[in-house]
Structure 1
Amino acid sequence: MPRAYLVRKLKLLLLFCVVFILFYGGNVLRRIIKDHKCSEEESKFLMDELCHNYTTNDAAGNMCPALCSSKKLKYNKCTNYRGGKKVLISQCDEVCEKGRSVVAVIKSKHPKEEFHFEPLDLDKYPNGSLSKAGYGMAYNIFKNMLDSQMLEESEKIQDIFSFLWSLDFEQYKREHRHLKVPEVIAIQNIWGLINQDEYLFMKVYQKHSFVPKMYGTCGYYYVMEFAPPGDILDPQLWTGSHSSFKERAEIAVDILNIVQSLDYGFFEPVHMCDVKAENFGIGKDHQVKILDTDSLFFHTSMLKNLAQPTCSNHDDCDFFDCRGWCEIETGKCTKQRSNNNLQTVCEDILVDKATNFYAGLLHSPPVAYKEELLPLLEECAYPEHSKGTIVRTPTSDDIYWKLHNLLKKIIREA
């Protein structure tokens, strides 16, 4: 059989395989996008349902009147859902920020799908109002949840119910004493909110500049500052970001500051286990914000996530970007993360990566600093020459400060 004929046949076979893979992959991608794409019809229904619950006194919160009565908080559009979380873009006139019209985000885990929790079964009097024991039960449950976020600092909080909500608890009871059991309604609303990890973290840590501002709540929904990733952190496919290196370096420094705060600014380290550039955004104050805190875990909780019952290799012990370590001899995962936040941020955001469509945030540095910056980024992302492997080594604080100081120098001299 002629060689040219075989070559032609092979080329046709390869072409067929490529076309098949592209077609199949395209269909899979379309299904994934469809599954995660939000529905305008459903989103409007959710807002109508929330306002119905407000009129029947089942939903309460400082944002309910603006959303359901004065319409100063207006739903505009939905964005793609993330793991069952509904994220709705809205226009907020004067009630989110006094005298200003701003874009806000309405968020919640869907109460009928991904969001499951048992209503509190508290001790009540025969008329349905909370007994003293019922108040004590609610207080202890809420206090325990607060302790998981704050530890010693929670002792300073006098009114836990009001602290965890958007309204003054006692004032709500007084203003709604015409209702049969206003305290039960209030507590169930708070309970629905604090069962959402993101709400609880962001409510407790509003003092941190990287946490988006929380404007308030209505029912199980919470309203927050709109902080989109923008073109720099979430560039369009193929076109990329057209920002200057100085702009990108400023954002990189902000992200490094967040890493430092998570490592040392809380009662115990906080681990980021889903690190992507689009999980960060830019707020009105031009500071970088964390948009999705569902993948943040305090160290004690992180150890439980890594402690799988058995393992045969290190991959079995991984929890997304938080990588574990398997003791092969015993077949048990060690209760310790093998990489760290800094390593993950450098690998998944700052440097170029073959598996990404986009260049790293710090691509194309100034020629004058290229020879100094690129090896530093390499050491940050792949400590101990671990490039080409799944990195299971933490990046040192020494590298952090060298990188942080160099970027600040580049920004000053740009």
Structure 2
Amino acid sequence: MWGPGWRAPGLARRGCVLRWLGLKVCRRSTLLFALLWFGCWLVLNGMVFVHRSIFSDFCTDDKSKRILQRVCEEYQEGVLTGDLCEDLCIRGEVEYKRCLYYENGKKVMAADWRGVPVVLKSKLENFSSYEALALLEYQDTAGGPGLDEELSPLDVVFYATLEIKNSLGLETGTNITLPRLWGQRLREKERTYSRAELASLWALLQQEEYTFLRVLQDLTHHVAKVLGSCGHFYAVEYLAAGHAWDQNIFSLEELSVNPSPRAWGGNGRTWEERDMVPRVALSFLEMVGHFEHDFSHHLHLCDIKPENFAIRNDFTVVAIDVDMAFFEPKMQEILEQNCTTDSDCNFFDCVSKCDLKRKKCGSKRKNSNLQVICEKIFRPWFSPTLLGAKAGLPLQVELQRAVQECIETEGGEDVEHGRAVRQRLLGLLKQLIEEESRKQQKSAPQETQHVHTALNF
């Protein structure tokens, strides 16, 4: 007989199996939970890392306003100054509009200064992030003049000359002056400069783009104009920049608001798009001529793309992003590096050849500004696809051939041939403008002219 505590052997074994399975399932659940927890921890930490490394530099209006507010606080404390500060911090004549972009610490914002659109820029967010002027630090440690004591600019001129030489690779000569490197407010002062003025100027000189634009704006109209500064922030003219994300290179809507006499035809007539394109192309060629022949050294553009250029109301092409522009001495220093193939000698749009015996890149650039402009801008601009029915016209065909010859000519090595190609392009574009102007004059009574909103690639 079976007692009350008796169990069949099969049931006992089944119970053991169930307990074993339950324990195994429990362990597996625990392992899965641990893996899930670890995965969530990794994801959360990854999100924190991404936030700190990327989104902390995300362009926002609130952060931009806080940055400008901090600039004004330091201005009122006498730490920094500039010809823009009074309007920005006291009179309220600088109206913040929007944040344009943050990139690798660089802050760029749009604003109106006394009703004129400007762009505010600084390479670094905080004034204290810039290297202090050694002359001022020496006076502090040596027990020199106090904070309110005015300092002689003679030593600063020497310091500024060295800074320009180091950042641009450009000899400044003996005609450099502090007023030329700063704004109108200093031009009107014939005296020594205060500590805040010298510290602010030194912060500006540490920004290659500011130095580049300030030095060149009196020599060529093909760079953006610096209008003023406050501490480490400087204001440049706001221009209609090019676009890389569609076929429109330059928007003309802003130009039609206050057209200049050069940009628009007389008697209320406006230029057709077909006339605008060669006029802007002519300005590109003029800019190339300026950059190659009108300075003490050849100026190389190593990042040629539509968004790095803009146009004024008279269709003048302007270089607005010059972070990748270098004078010849600096260019040679950049190009001369170790290599095993020619591809190792490519520095964005500036390339040289690899000397396989020395395993060293050549210090001379192989291509040219004009060659890259022909390849990246003129070729798609004058392509048969976009010209449509006009592509077969004799003048257009000759222009396409000239552009192709320009692309194939290594102007950096064959300077004379490069000049000949440029002269050919100039002649063809002028002929094209004259031809289109004659057609417009003949068709004016029958056709209604209209403004096109964009120049198309």
TM-score between both structures, scaled by the size of structure 1: 0.75
Per the TM alignment, residue 377 of structure 1 is displaced from its structure 2 partner at its CA by 0.9
Q: Which residue of 2 aligns with 1:381?
A: 407
Residue 422 (structure 2) aligns with: 400
1:307: which partner in 2?
336
Tell me what 1:103 maps to.
117
- Partner Cα distance (1:264, 1:240) in 2: 27
**Structure 2 equivalent of residue 355 of structure 1:** none
Report if aligned partners of 1:349, 1:361 keep a CA contact under 8 Å in 2.
no
Instruction: Report deviation, 1:379.
Output: 1.1
Alpha-carbon distance in structure 1 between the residues aligned to 2:428 and 2:247: 30
Does the 8 A contact of 1:342 with 1:380 survive in 2?
yes
| 1:119 aligned partner | 132
Give 1:118 shift. 2.2
Q: What residue identity is the alignment partner of 2:424? A: K
Match of 1:318 among 334, 341, 346: 346
Is the Cα contact below 8 Å between 2:182 and 2:201 reproduced in 1? Answer: yes
TM-superposed CA distance for 1:135, in Å, is 5.4
Cα-to-partner distance string for 1:301-341 (whole Å, 9 max, x where unaligned): 10000011x21111112211100211112211111111111
Q: Residues 133 and 345 of structure 1: is their aligned pair in 2 closer, same or farther, counting only changes over 3 Å?
A: same
Q: Determine the C-alpha separation between the residues in 2 that align with 1:108 and 1:261.
A: 27
Aligned residues: 353
Cα deviation 1:320-369 (Å, max 9, x = unaligned): 110021111221111111111111111111112xxxxx987995155422
Q: What whole-Å deviation, never above 9, does each CA across 1:142-196 have from its counterpart, x for those lacking one?
A: 1223456696764234xx232222232894978xxxxxxx722211100100111
Which among 247, 268, 276 is matched to residue 297 of structure 2? 268
Q: Which residue of 2 aligns with 1:413?
A: 435
Letter of the 1:110 counterpart: L
Aligned counterpart, 2:33: none
> Partner of 2:174 in structure 1?
155
CA distance in 2, matches of 1:151, 1:240: 32
| Structure-1 separation of matches of 2:146 and 2:156 | 13
Cross-structure match for 1:206: 217
User: Given residue 84 of structure 2, which amino acid in structure 1 is its aligned partner?
Assistant: M
CA–CA distance in structure 2, aligned partners of residues 321 and 82 of structure 1: 21
Alignment map for 1:156-195 (pairs within 5 Å)? 156-157=175-176, 160-166=177-183, 167-168=185-186, 171=189, 183-195=194-206
Q: How far apart are the structure 2 equivalents of 1:92 and 1:362?
A: 43
Q: Paired residue for 2:77, among 19, 39, 56?
A: 56
* Kept in 1: contact 2:107–2:123 (CA 8 A): yes
Q: CA deviation at 1:250?
A: 1.0
Q: Which residue of 2 aligns with 1:280?
A: 309
Aligned to 1:224: 236
**SS across alignment from 1:142:** helix
Q: Name the Cα RMSD after superposition.
A: 3.5
Deviation at 1:127, TM superposition (A): 4.9
8 A Cα contact 1:169 1:186, kept in partner: no
Provide the residue aligned with 1:351 in structure 2.
379
SS for the counterpart of 1:89 is strand
| Structure 2: stretches of 5+ with no match in the other structure | 1-50, 252-271, 437-457
Which position in structure 1 is the counterpart of 2:66? 45
The change in CA–CA distance for 1:190 and 1:339 in structure 2 (over 3 A counts) is same
Which digits, 9 at most, give the CA deviation of each residue in 1:234-267, with x for residues without a partner? 2663778898232111111111111111010100
Note the alpha carbon deviations across 1:184-239, whole angstroms, 9 max, x for none: 2211100100111111111112221112222110001111111122xxx3266377
Alignment correspondent of 2:207:
196
CA contact (8 A) 2:105 2:125 kept: no
Paired with 2:77 and 2:61, the residues of 1 have a C-alpha distance of 24
Q: Which has the larger radius of gyration?
A: 2
Higher relative contact order (CA 8 A, sep 6+): 2
| CA drift at 1:129 | 4.0
Q: Partners in 2 of 1:263 and 1:380 — Cα distance?
A: 16
Identity of aligned residues (%): 28
Specify the alignment match of 2:264 in structure 1: none
Whether the 8 Å contact between 2:106 and 2:125 is mirrored in structure 1 is no
Pair 1:33–1:346, CA change in 2 (3 A): farther
Alignment of 1:23-34 (within 5 A): none
The one-letter code of the counterpart of 1:74 is E
Counterpart AA for 1:50: V
C-alpha separation in 2, matches of 1:82 and 1:360: 34
Offset from partner CA, 1:270-289 (integer Å, 9 cap, x none): 00000001111012444211
Q: Is 127-136 or 187-196 further displaced after alignment?
A: 127-136
Q: Which amino acid aligns with 1:315?
A: S
CA distance in 1, matches of 2:97, 2:431: 42
Q: 1:320 to 1:250 in 2, by over 3 A?
A: same
Going from structure 1 to structure 2, the CA distance change for 1:241 and 1:68 (only over 3 Å counts) comes to closer
Distance change (3 Å), C-alpha of 1:47 and 1:152 = closer
Match of 1:335 in 2: 363
Contact 1:323 1:339 in 2 (8 A): yes
> Is the Cα contact below 8 Å between 1:339 and 1:393 reproduced in 2?
no
